[in-house]
Structure 1
């Protein structure tokens, strides 16, 4: 397991999440498990919720699986953000 420790490491993860639009936790909670979270934004671009997915990477190379999970999270994020815009124009 790769547990993130220390303020500097946490802040670097936050900066990266802001830059790429999602946060990853590869094998941080369980070996072979990857977690990802992305914000759902309102029409003004403010976060109002989050999409979180966790899945087992068993049988997949971790970098490829992480990329696929990120694509899925971003797709879900886009759908929820679009839905939020329809509910609150």
Structure 2
């Protein structure tokens, strides 16, 4: 049940609640978007184990460096083999 102050008629009477409702809606939307992005885009989550049983092995040859000023090749630090 929604409290009376959070209905459209209640918000017209109580203007200070409008930013609270807006920020609450933005926070809920942000949490939902982050959860969906994490579930769909990270290699830690495997939704279809028959197609790709070990998704972390796809990222073995990729570099995860945001800034590499010395241009050190990836061969100096190989990823461990998980078996």
Same fold (TM over 0.5): no
Relative to its length, the structure with more helix (as a share) is 2
What TM-score, normalized to structure 1?
0.33
Report the structure number with the largest CA radius of gyration. Answer: 2
Higher RCO (CA 8 Å, separation ≥ 6 residues): 1
What TM-score, normalized to structure 2?
0.36
Relative to its length, the structure with more strand (as a share) is 1
